[in-house]
Amino acid sequence: MSQFAGSSSSERQSLIVEAIDAHRVRESQYCTFEAEQTEEKTLAWVQYRAVDGLLNLDCTPEEREQLTDVLETYPELSITEQTQPEDAEGINIRIQGYTDDQRLAEFIDIIFQRVYEQDEDYRLWVAEI
């Protein structure tokens, strides 16, 4: 991989595609993407597992509603599991589906913008490959 962070939509999506490819080559368990933390924004992350096309993320009930709206435009992806431990405020969501890497990169970028309400020029990091 030649870069580990991106701030424009095209940079972020290229970064995601490149990271997913590196993840497959390394056969690692997950590839983790994070939005840069700011004073106004808490840590937001999405994990991807190539072996079965699984996305994993945590969200609040309000963010869960936004995620449902986003998923309407991605019929090839669907929520397969949700867990909310009694002592946790958030919900762990697992999304599964098969699509090309560019469309998956677009979806992940949109999760950060619409679900996690990141600014249009937010900085995305590849935290783990």
- pLDDT category of residue 45 using cuts at 50, 70 and 90: very high
CA angle 45, 72, 76 (to 5 degrees): 80
Q: Give the model confidence (pLDDT) of 15-38 as tens digits.
A: 999 999 999 999 999 999 999 887
pTM: 0.91
Residue 1 has pLDDT above 60, yes or no: no
pLDDT reported for residue 92: 96
Q: Please report which confidence band the pLDDT of residue 42 belongs to, taking 50, 70 and 90 as the band edges.
A: confident
Worst-scoring range by mean pLDDT, 63-67, 114-118, 124-128? 124-128
Tell me, what CATH number does 30's domain have? 3.30.70
**Total domain count for the chain?**
1
pLDDT digits (tens, 9 = 90+) for 69-118: 999 999 999 999 999 888 878 899 999 988 999 999 999 999 999 999 99
pLDDT higher than threshold 90 for residue 7: no
The answer on pLDDT for 68 being more than 60 is yes
Dihedral (C-alpha) 29, 65, 105, 57: value to the nearest 10 degrees?
-20
Pairing relation of β-strands 124-128 and 44-49? unpaired
Round to whole Å and give the CA distance between 97 and 42. Answer: 27
The whole domain housing 79 covers 5-128
